[in-house]
Amino acid sequence: MSRYFTEDHEWVDVDGEIGTVGITDYAQSQLGDIVFVEVPAEGKQLAKGDDAAVVESVKAASDVYSPVSGTVVEGNADLADDPALVNGSAEEDGWFFKLTLSDPSELEGLMDEAAYAAFVAKL
């Protein structure tokens, strides 16, 4: 499985044609205590950069953008009952949605883990 990152602090794990998307640990730490997450519906078509989900914390509400184009195959239903999963496990159990990639070449424009770490270090 390969993981890629955006400058908007989303990550996508790619396993075959399926991408699992969430926000980074850095993003959740900037948001603070997360109180609500809205994930996209199954079957929703997303283009790279589209608003895909919403995350609300005690500080602010933020859009989560799709790092790649595709069709949503699953939203993380656990986040409805326990949005704090994102705080405790942003890059594992706190994933937002899974989608079938429609254009895998879009991954080439994203950062790998080392590039993302260097990007965050400059913030």
Domain 2-103, classified CATH 2.60.40.10, yes or no: no
**What does the pLDDT read at residue 1?**
79
Q: What pLDDT, on a 0 to 100 scale, did the predictor assign at position 109?
A: 96
pLDDT in tens, 110-119: 999 999 999 9
pTM over 0.95? The answer is yes
If pLDDT is split at 50, 70 and 90, which confidence band does 86 have? Answer: very high
Q: Give residue 120's pLDDT.
A: 98
**For residue 41, pLDDT beyond 90:** yes
Residue-level pLDDT at 50: 98
pLDDT at 100 exceeding the cut of 90: yes
At 116, list the tokens: 């993302």
Give the mean model confidence (pLDDT) for residues 1-21. Answer: 97
Strands in 70-75's sheet, in edge-to-edge order, are 2-5, 10-15, 18-23, 97-101, 70-75, 45-46
Residue 5 banded pLDDT, cuts 50, 70, 90: very high
Q: Where are the domains of the chain?
A: 2-103
